[in-house]
Amino acid sequence: MSTTTAATFLAGWLLAVGLIAVYFEVESVHCGVRIQKLLEEEAALVEEIRRAEIAYNEEISPDRLEEDLPAEFVRFDVPRPVETAPESPSVMTASRSP
């Protein structure tokens, strides 16, 4: 085999290996870009869901529900706790003694 043939053969192999390396690098960049876009979409969806949850919670909050009550609705007062008379000290001491 002559030197020129060997050099041509080696150059062809180096070119093929270089092209394959460039192809894989381009594919990895392409995958990285695709992953970055998916992560950005995920972040946008998470933010949209968070905003929807906040809007829903604001809609069902008791303050908001009270504002949206119809005029015919009769509002009842909250019952007060029953106040009991405090025990007299004489009753307390009498119950403690044997």
What residues make up the domain containing 12?
3-70
The pTM is what?
0.48
From residue 18, alpha-carbon distances to 10, 15, 31 in Å are: 12, 5, 20
> pLDDT tens digits for 9-62?
999 999 999 999 999 999 999 999 999 999 999 999 999 999 999 989 888 887
Question: 76 in a domain, yes or no?
Answer: no
Quote the number of domains for the chain: 1
In a domain, 98, yes or no: no
pLDDT, one tens digit per residue, over 62-85 is 777 767 766 666 566 666 777 776
User: In sequence order, what DSSP letters do the residues of 5-71 get, joined into one string?
Assistant: HHHHHHHHHHHHHHHHHHHHHHHHHHHHHHHHHHHHHHHHHHHHHHHHHHHHHHHTSHHHHHHT--T
